[in-house]
Amino acid sequence: MRGALLRRGAAIQTWMIMVICVVSGCARGPDAAPPIVVLGASSLRGLLSDAAESWRVRTGAVVQVRVDSSSRLARQLEQGAAADLFVTADPEWLQRVPCEGCRRVVLGGNRLVIAVREGLSIGEPEELRDPHFVRVATAAESVPLGRYARQALAALSLTDALSPRLVNAPNAASAEALLRTGAVDGAVLYRSDVRDHPATRVVVLPSSTHDPIRYEALLLRPRAAALVDWLASAEARALWGRHGLVAPGEE
C-alpha cells in the first residue's frame, strides 16, 4: 500500500514538473538561441513556412517568418528592423537595404500567369480584352509582381486595353485574394499563387515578356548562413516544386 502511494506521489511530482516547464518555457533552456528571423516576399509565404518547419526538424533551430510586400520589408530594414535574412524577387529592393558586405544568394524562381475566376475561361492572353473581364487585378507597380505584370502586358500590347480596368493590390497575396473571393474577374499573378485552386483557369505567360523572376536572399547576419545555403541547394528542390515555384538551379 505504502509503495503504491509513493509511486503515485512520484508520478504526480513528475507531472507537475512537466506542467511548470510548459508554462515557463524551460524546455528551451535559459541559453537557447533566439529565433532566426526571416523577412520574405508575400509570394513565398507557403515555402518559407514549410522551410522553417523543415529546418527546425533538421537542426532544432527555430525560424520566425514574416511576410509582406518586398518594398515594405525593405523600408522596415532601412529603418532599423532586426532580421537575419531577407528574401525577395526584387534585386532593386535588396540594394536599398543598408548592409555593407552582406552576401547575396540566388534561390529559385517563379512564373507569371493570367488567372480567371471560377466560371470563366481563358485560352490566350489576348482574351483579356473581352468586356466580360470587367476588373483585372495585379500588384501595385512598387512591388515585384506589379512590375513584372506591367512588363508582360506591355509586351503583349494589352496595356491600353487593361489600364482602365486594372485593380492594384498592395502585394501578391492580396491580388490573389481578390481573385479567390470573386472581387475581380481575372488577375496577373505568380504561378505559385494559384497552385491550390485547381478550378481556376490559367494561362502561363511567356518568360520572354518580362524580366526573369528570381528570388534572391540577402544574408544580414551570419547565423542564417546555413539556412540560406540549404534553401539554395539541390536538396531543397522538392520543397520549391511543391509550392509551384521554380527550383534552385532551374530558374
- Residue 159 in contact with residue 168, Cβ under 8 Å? no
- 37 has a pLDDT exceeding 70: yes
The residue among 65 and 201 whose pLDDT is bigger is: 65
Residues 6+ away with beta carbon under 8 Å from 137: 166, 167, 168, 169, 175, 178, 179, 183, 184, 186, 187, 188
For residue 127, what is its C-alpha cell? Answer: 482574351
pLDDT confidence of residue 93: 86
Work out the percent of the chain whose per-residue pLDDT is above 70.
86
Q: Which segments of 87-208 does DSSP mark as H helices, in order?
A: 91-96, 144-155, 159-162, 172-180
For the chain, list the domains and their CATH numbers.
36-109+214-242 (3.40.190.10), 112-209 (3.40.190.10)
- Residue 225 in contact with residue 59, Cβ under 8 Å? no
pLDDT confidence of residue 20: 28
- Residue 36 in contact with residue 223, Cβ under 8 Å? yes
- 10 has a pLDDT exceeding 50: no
Nearest to 88 by CA among 73, 78, 99, 100: 73
